[in-house]
Structure formats: C-alpha cells, structure tokens
A = this chain, B = another copy of it.
Amino acid sequence: MRSESREQVKALSLFGDMSEAAFERLLAGSYFQRFPAHVVLIREGDPADFLHVVVEGGVELFSDWRDRETTMSIARPVSTFILAAVIKDAPYLMSARTMEPSSILMIPSENIRAAMTADSAFSIAMVNELAVCFRGVVKAQKNIKLRTGVERLANYLLRLGAQQDDGGKVTIPIEKKTLASLLGMSPENLSRAFATLKPYGVDVDGAVVKFAANSDLKDFAKPTPLIDDPLA
C-alpha cells in the first residue's frame, strides 16, 4: 500500500484516534489490492471475514432475492463498508461489486474485534461510525417510504448539487441503471422521471444534469435535513 493511501485510511474517523502502533497491529494480515471494474468483492450470506475499505474507485452494495436485485448504497473513497457484519461476526447482508477499477483494503475481522477490546477509544469511534451508518439507512428508508420516484430523483439531484457545487450543473457519478436501482425504480422509469422534471428547469445531457440551485426544483423537491442532509 502506498504511504499516501495508508495516511488516508488512518485519517478516517474510525482510525484517527488510534496510536500508530495499534494501527499497525490492525493492519497485520490485511490485504491491499487493486480490482478491475465489475468484480464481485463479497456475496451476501458469506461469513464476514474482512472489513473492507474503499481507497480508490467506487463500490456498489446490492442485494437480491429470488430473481430481483436492488442497489442498496454506494461506497466512495475513503470509507469502510459492511462494518456491522464484521462486528457481529455474522453473514454479510449485502453483496459488493466494484463499479470502476478500485483499490480495496481488507482488514481481518478478527483484528477489528481485537482492537475493540484492547482500545476503548477505538470502540467509541466504532460506536460513532455505526451510529452514522444507522442514521444513513434510516434516512434511506424514509426516502423510499415517504416519496415517489420523481421526488427521490429531485432530491438526489439537489444533494449532488450541494456536494459538487459546479455552478448550475452536476455530473451523475454512476450509471443511470445503477442510479435507478438505488432510487428504487426501473431504468425506464428514471428516464421518464428526468422528463417529468424538465418543467422545473432540469436539463439532462448524458451524465451531466443542468439546473439552477435555488430553483423551481427545490420547491418541487422539498428537501429536509432529516432525510437529505448526510450529516444530520
């Protein structure tokens, strides 16, 4: 692992408070690996042997049942995923695949659990991390149960706008297919949802979407921090 990458991982709030020595122990037996795009990293139901950290690229977390599949969330650098399964030593609830060529750090679950008992600052960091994750899923749940597809899309665009701040335009960082699934609709429906938002000043050209930040769109979307603010 390049030392730059190592520093980025160490800087995560999960690991930031650890001593260098403790972090070194944590990394013992870890793998740092580059994967091509569209590679399945973990499969739901498998035992949680490693905590994964996306260092570069992007990972899609998804689930299936019978012949259906849905995207649950997207993990971007630098962040961990499937933390809860690791802690409980339970089967993964979601599968994961790379969306692009990605660098992944894999830390043995056993190391995580050991660090937790050894280092109380680490377990507190863990509590905080899990609380954030929990609130993230709750927000996603509210998003799905309280909004229609078009409303979810509108709020997604606003969220992108807030984090990209590219002056009136955003670039969708994932395939539309994946976005559709993430938002809980079919790809066809996503196309139509974009068309529905046209009267509110939304203009789509490939992955680039133009709209005024303080616009009709916001009136339509009615965002609330209790669903849309990733920090709240």
Contacts and interface: CB of A to CB of B under 8 A. Distances in A.
B84 A131 contact: yes
Interface of A: 44-45, 63-66, 68-70, 72, 83-85, 87-88, 90-91, 93-94, 116-117, 120, 123-124, 126-128, 130-135, 137-142, 144-147, 184, 222, 224-227, 232
Contacts of A64: 146
Contacts of A140: 141
29 contacts: A45-B226, A63-B142, A63-B145, A65-B146, A65-B222, A66-B146, A69-B146, A84-B131, A84-B138, A87-B127, A87-B128, A88-B131, A90-B135, A90-B232, A91-B232, A93-B135, A93-B139, A117-B124, A123-B123, A123-B126, A127-B127, A127-B130, A130-B130, A130-B131, A134-B134, A140-B141, A141-B141, A144-B145, A145-B184
Nearest to A70: B145
B142 A70 contact: yes
A84 to B, nearest CB: 4
B144 A144 contact: yes
A228 to B, nearest CB: 10
A192 to B, nearest CB: 19
A150 to B, nearest CB: 14
Contact of A68 (B65, B70, B116, B146): B146
B87 A131 contact: yes
Nearest to A45: B226
